[in-house]
């Protein structure tokens, strides 16, 4: 089938960008969205044109690199699906698709569809880990954990840090990402020693990076490819208030 693409092209952050129209022919319904972009780039390079820059790595919905706004939705129309797992069988011959980068001040644009998401790395580095020396690894069931806590912690830990929550939020808030990274440890015994220090450092780093505040729009939860619950934000707020009082 033939797909009409409108893709954001921008050489770098200091030059203006614009949407450019491309006609991609020979698209198979079995292609993933990123494979369709590979096909586009092959066509462009054969003509001597610059390929479209876009981020990708695992292409299995794990790494969070495939950040694209597709027809106004972060990662596209399929709920609980990263862009790399979106397939062309969900589109029809002749469809027009608009593809843009994440748009947030804390995610400065590098080129075309590629943005710098290292702000997430700095939030994580501020406290999203356990550094206490616990000695040798205990037996698997030596430390009892309530099933509800284990299940919720695992759900929060599924966050892949793609930034869709930021891209979808009217305030460009990183509260869902930060809340998930804080709350997964708050639910586990291993995370208790650094619990207060962790939440204060990570929230302060989030604010320092220039992300907006959460206004409970819920767009973050709606577009998250791992369907992280907005409950993580409420837990982060409770953790923070406890830590500073």
- How does residue 134 score in pLDDT terms, banded at 50, 70 and 90? low
Indicate whether 93 and 125 sit together in one domain.
no
Indicate whether 83 and 124 sit together in one domain.
no
Q: Is 212 a member of any domain?
A: yes
Q: Which of 119, 115, 116, 211 is nearest to 166 (CA)?
A: 211
Indicate whether 121 and 234 sit together in one domain.
yes
Q: Enter the DSSP assignment of 160.
A: -
Q: 174 near 104, Cβ under 8 Å?
A: no
Report the share of the chain in percent with pLDDT over 70. Answer: 98
Angle between helices 195-208 and 231-244 (to 10 degrees): 110
Q: Is 110 a member of any domain?
A: no
Confidence check: pLDDT of 99 > 70: yes
User: How large is the average pLDDT for residues 100-128?
Assistant: 97
Q: Is 85 a member of any domain?
A: yes
- Among the candidates 100, 129, 151, a domain finishes at 100
Q: Is 8 a member of any domain?
A: yes
User: How large is the average pLDDT for residues 33-48?
Assistant: 97
Indicate whether 85 and 177 sit together in one domain.
no
Most confident of 65-74, 143-152, 187-196: 65-74
Per the structure, the count of domains in the chain is: 2
User: How large is the average pLDDT for residues 95-99?
Assistant: 98
Indicate whether 189 and 219 sit together in one domain.
yes
Indicate whether 73 and 122 sit together in one domain.
no
The secondary structure of 174-213, three-state, reads CHHHHHHHHHHHHCCHHHCCCHHHHHHHHHHHHHHCCCEC
- Among the candidates 65, 100, 135, a domain finishes at 100
| pLDDT for the residue numbered 186 | 96
CA 35 vs. chain centroid, Å, equals 20
User: How large is the average pLDDT for residues 59-78?
Assistant: 96
Residue 183, domain CATH? 1.10.1060.10
Burial of 17 (C-beta count, 10 Å sphere; 0-12/13-18/19+): middle
**φ, ψ of residue 33 in degrees (nearest 5):** -60, -40
- Among the candidates 100, 135, 162, a domain finishes at 100
CA-CA distance, 224 to 177, in Å (whole number)?
Answer: 10
Indicate whether 34 and 134 sit together in one domain.
no
Indicate whether 153 and 200 sit together in one domain.
yes
CA-CA distance, 157 to 177, in Å (whole number)?
Answer: 10
Burial of 12 (C-beta count, 10 Å sphere; 0-12/13-18/19+): exposed
Indicate whether 163 and 214 sit together in one domain.
yes
Q: Which of 74, 100, 86 is nearest to 164 (CA)?
A: 74
Indicate whether 78 and 150 sit together in one domain.
no
- How does residue 24 score in pLDDT terms, banded at 50, 70 and 90? very high
Sheet containing 69-70: give its strands across: 18-24, 3-9, 96-100, 69-70, 73-74
Q: What is the pTM of this model?
A: 0.93
| pLDDT for the residue numbered 95 | 98
30 sits in which H/E element: none
- How does residue 132 score in pLDDT terms, banded at 50, 70 and 90? confident
Residue 92, domain CATH? 3.10.20.30
Indicate whether 126 and 232 sit together in one domain.
yes
Can you give the residue range of the structural domain that contains 32?
3-100
CA-CA distance, 115 to 104, in Å (whole number)?
Answer: 9
Q: Is 107 a member of any domain?
A: no
Summarize pLDDT for 163-221 with one digit per residue, the tens. 999 999 999 999 999 999 999 999 999 899 999 999 999 999 999 999 999 999 999 99
Confidence check: pLDDT of 140 > 70: no
188: left (phi over 0), alpha (psi -120 to 50) or beta: beta
| pLDDT for the residue numbered 236 | 98
| pLDDT for the residue numbered 210 | 97
Indicate whether 84 and 156 sit together in one domain.
no
Which range has the worst mean pLDDT, 80-94, 124-138, 211-225? 124-138
């Amino acid at each position: 089938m033939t797909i009409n693409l409108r893709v954001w092209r921008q050489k770098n952050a200091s030059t203006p960008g614009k949407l450019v129209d491309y006609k991609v022919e020979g698209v198979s319904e079995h292609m993933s969205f990123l494979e369709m972009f590979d096909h586009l780039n092959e066509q462009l390079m054969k003509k001597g044109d610059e390929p479209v820059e876009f981020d990708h790595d695992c292409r299995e919905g794990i790494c969070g690199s495939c950040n694209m706004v597709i027809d106004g939705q972060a990662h596209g129309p399929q709920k609980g699906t990263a862009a790399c797992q979106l397939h062309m069988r969900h589109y029809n011959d002749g469809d027009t698709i608009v593809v843009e980068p994440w748009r947030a001040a804390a995610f400065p644009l590098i080129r075309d569809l590629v943005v710098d998401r290292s702000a997430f790395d700095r939030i994580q580095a501020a406290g999203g880990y356990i550094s206490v020396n616990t000695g040798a690894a205990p037996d698997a069931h030596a430390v009892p954990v309530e099933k509800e806590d284990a299940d919720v912690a695992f759900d929060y830990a599924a966050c892949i840090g793609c930034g869709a929550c930021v891209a979808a939020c009217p305030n460009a808030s990183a509260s869902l990402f930060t809340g998930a990274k804080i709350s997964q440890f708050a639910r586990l015994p291993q995370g208790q020693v650094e619990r207060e220090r962790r939440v204060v450092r990570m929230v302060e780093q989030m604010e320092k990076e220039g992300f907006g505040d959460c206004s409970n729009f819920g767009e973050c939860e709606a577009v998250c490819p791992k369907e992280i619950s907005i409950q993580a934000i409420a837990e982060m707020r409770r953790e923070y208030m406890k830590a500073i009082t």
